């Protein structure tokens, strides 16, 4: 066992003394040492209920024959960090989390790890660490929160807070209504109720085979989730005994399956950043083109919020990811999972309990998958849109640019009534380098939706929350800070978007763009100190997953 490096032999007497000091009895020294990497924090509703799950994982580990050690990593709530300086830190925290886990696991030579996670950047950060370390690992995602209820309707975080702000601004709702929506939108611990980034990544973690069947959709605070946590603790010991490692599971087939399920569900566009970054750590090449290649073949079979009306609880009650795999059995590839069963075995034994929540592939909501990759002179390296959440009338659109060099400028203009139908809102210098950190643009996109501006598009070199809906195109690459064409757009320029044909074009001549390029001056970094400065110096483009480049 790896842990023998800290507990076996005469020269390890001091190490054993310290382990005894932490509470390890002599009788447990020969057990596998299993880390429980918990992202518990009171700051995030998706993580505030993890103390119970830690206990059940620990019980499972001891039942399975291991000895559990809890350690922690930080977490950021994108919803709370959004709209101010805090959002600069969200995406960069993904890589910091992976580094912290590497430090702890290698320093203490743990034999295996149970990763307890839930929200947006924590799950991919942990998956990156698992792939990098390549020691036996299993994931427990803490689960979605319950739907809220107000005036006889189910309520959810994005629709009933972010979008409600714009309705309040228009005078459609009053203080009483707004206050009650705030109190009802997030009624329990858990990740936000739609297929936003946290829940998308939970579903894809299960799809890749890194969590037990049913884990991705099992609701927070429910006993089913506690049972899965316990069983995961038992199973990690089995993975250690059989030396089954993440790279045995997270191979090319696993990532391809993850993209297929992502497209079939209509998941967050943030997966086009996270899956390539995780694949990079696993030694698997995954490029943006695969998303678009498969999107033309994989139908969209489940219409969850933000684009649809179903909630994560509906997906769970309909059979969860096993039922989705059953629908997609002819498209996904067989592969090993941490459960010991293969993907096809899980799919064959699944039951679809609701034909509308998880439709057959010959009766989809949309013939193509949820994500489309567009290219053109604005984005020669690509950009992404959640096409399943776009009104059919806006799949092709030409509008006049309203240009902003930050999210705050754009938000002021939107809430100030300066954006009209027929506009294309351009938000730039918010990319991985220029932001730095690719801030999410949920506030502007939700405000546009809440104000009823249904003939407005938004493009950015930043990114979007999984809760965004409408013709919102992110990850424009190259970004403005690197001198990409988005930096050269001027007020009033016409922009042509054709999602069906995967095109995005600035309707300005090449000669004019060359003249503008000569006059462009690279801006000073927005932040010149601390972690964000180091991040901006070394991070790659969104088209590559916003990963840290190898230092030369």
Known binding site for Mg(2+): residues?
A: 78, 120-121, 440
Task: Name the catalytic one among 268, 465, 540, 541.
Answer: 465
Task: Select from 110, 43, 52 the least CA-distant residue to 81.
Answer: 43
Q: HSE, CB side, 13 Å, CA atoms: give it for residue 411.
A: 15
Please provide the distance, in angstroms rounded to a whole number, between the alpha carbons at the two ends of the chain.
35
Sheet holding 494-498, edge to edge: 371-374, 382-386, 472-477, 457-460, 423-427, 396-404, 494-498, 503-506
The C-alpha atoms of residue 241 and residue 244 are separated, in whole angstroms, by 8
Active site residue 465: yes
The C-alpha atoms of residue 488 and residue 513 are separated, in whole angstroms, by 7
Binding residues: 78, 120-121, 440
φ, ψ of residue 195 in degrees (nearest 5): -85, 65
Instruction: Report the C-alpha dihedral over residues 117, 118, 124, 126, rounded to 10 degrees.
Output: -10
Instruction: Tokens for 483, please give them.
Output: 């001198």
The C-alpha atoms of residue 307 and residue 313 are separated, in whole angstroms, by 16
CB of 477 within 8 A of CB of 459?
no
CA distances from 87 to 157, 215, 229, 384 (A): 18, 28, 30, 20
What does R_g of the chain's alpha carbons equal in angstroms? Answer: 23
The C-alpha atoms of residue 354 and residue 317 are separated, in whole angstroms, by 8
Matching residue, tokens 């739907």: 147
List the catalytic residues.
465
């Amino acid at each position: 066992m790896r842990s023998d490096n800290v507990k076996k032999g005469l020269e390890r007497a001091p190490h054993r003394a310290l382990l005894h000091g932490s509470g390890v009895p002599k009788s447990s020294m020969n057990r596998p040492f299993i880390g429980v990497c918990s992202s518990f924090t009171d700051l995030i509703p998706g993580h505030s209920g993890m103390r119970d799950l830690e206990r059940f994982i620990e019980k499972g580990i001891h039942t399975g024959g291991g000895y559990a050690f809890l350690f922690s990593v930080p977490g950021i709530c994108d919803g709370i960090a959004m709209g101010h300086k805090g959002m600069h830190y969200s995406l960069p925290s993904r890589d910091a989390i992976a580094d912290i886990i590497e430090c702890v696991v290698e320093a203490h030579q743990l034999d295996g790890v149970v990763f307890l996670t839930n929200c947006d950047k924590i799950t991919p950060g942990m998956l990156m660490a698992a792939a990098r370390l390549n020691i036996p690992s299993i994931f427990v995602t803490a689960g979605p929160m319950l739907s809220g209820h107000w005036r006889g309707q189910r309520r959810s975080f994005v629709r009933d807070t972010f979008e409600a702000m714009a309705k309040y601004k228009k005078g459609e709702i009053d203080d009483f209504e707004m206050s009650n929506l705030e109190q009802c939108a997030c009624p329990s611990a858990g990740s936000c109720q739609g297929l936003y980034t946290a829940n998308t990544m939970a579903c894809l973690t299960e799809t890749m085979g890194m969590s037990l069947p049913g884990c991705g959709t099992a609701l927070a605070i429910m006993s089913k989730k506690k049972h899965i946590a316990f069983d995961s603790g038992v199973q990690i010991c089995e993975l250690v005994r059989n030396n089954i490692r993440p790279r045995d599971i997270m191979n090319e087939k696993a990532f391809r399956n993850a993209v297929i399920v992502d497209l079939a569900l209509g998941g967050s566009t943030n997966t086009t950043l996270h899956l390539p970054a995780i694949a990079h750590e696993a030694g698997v090449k995954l490029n943006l083109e695969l998303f678009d290649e498969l999107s033309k073949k994989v139908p969209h079979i489940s219409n969850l919020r933000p684009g649809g009306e179903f909630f994560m609880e509906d997906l769970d009650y309909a059979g969860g990811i096993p039922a989705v795999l059953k629908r997609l059995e002819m498209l996904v590839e067989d592969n090993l999972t941490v459960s010991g069963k293969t993907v096809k075995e899980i799919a064959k034994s699944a039951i679809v309990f609701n034909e509308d929540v998880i439709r057959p592939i010959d009766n989809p909501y949309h013939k193509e998958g949820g994500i489309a990759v567009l290219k053109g002179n604005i984005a020669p390296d690509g950009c992404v849109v959640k096409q399943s959440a776009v009104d059919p009338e806006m799949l092709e659109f030409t509008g006049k640019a309203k240009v902003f060099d930050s999210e705050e400028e754009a938000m002021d203009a939107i809430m100030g009534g300066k954006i009209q139908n027929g506009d294309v809102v351009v938000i730039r210098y918010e990319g991985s380098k220029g932001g730095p950190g690719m801030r999410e643009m949920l506030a502007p996109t939700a405000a546009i939706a809440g104000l009823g501006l249904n003939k407005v598009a938004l493009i950015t070199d930043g990114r979007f929350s999984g809760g965004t809906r409408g013709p919102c195109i992110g990850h424009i690459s190259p970004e403005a800070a690197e001198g990409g064409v988005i930096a050269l757009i001027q007020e009033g320029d016409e922009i042509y978007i054709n999602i069906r044909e995967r095109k995005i074009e600035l309707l300005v001549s090449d000669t004019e763009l060359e003249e503008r390029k000569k006059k462009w001056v690279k801006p000073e970094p927005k932040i010149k100190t601390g972690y964000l400065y180091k991040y901006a110096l070394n991070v790659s483009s969104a088209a590559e997953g916003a990963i840290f480049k190898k230092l030369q």
